[in-house]
Amino acid sequence: AQSVTQPDIHITVSEGASLELRCNYSYGATPYLFWYVQSPGQGLQLLLKYFSGDTLVQGIKGFEAEFKRSQSSFNLRKPSVHWSDAAEYFCAVGPYEKLTFGTGTRLTIIP
């Protein structure tokens, strides 16, 4: 069975600081991996996705993620966060027709 673990429930970072959100997955084959962001009371917006190829994936809003098969990880990074990045972040593993989501990481940005 596929599963996703996001170890950090809540992370607080200062505006302008770097960010890394952790995601570990369990999947029987080459996974489809996704990061979504959810603002309060809103649906999910796709940040980036990995299907194959280059293990460093660039997404929107300056985010990137690196697929590490040996560690079963797909961590999300951003070199410098902005106050508008405060939201809930979800990692998900595919296949695309049956995504399994992690429990999410809430990101708080302090001035």
Contact between 3 and other proteins (CB under 8 A)?
A: no
Q: Cβ 16 to other proteins, closest distance in Å?
A: 27
Each residue 42-71 as x (binds other proteins by CB under 8 A) or -, in order, gives xxxxx--x-x--------------------
DSSP conformation letters of 8-44: -SEEEEETTS-EEE--EEE-SSSPPEEEEEE-TT--E
Nearest alpha carbon to residue 69 among 18, 33, 35: 33
Interface positions with other proteins (CB under 8 A): 32, 34, 36, 41-46, 49, 51, 90, 94-99, 101-104
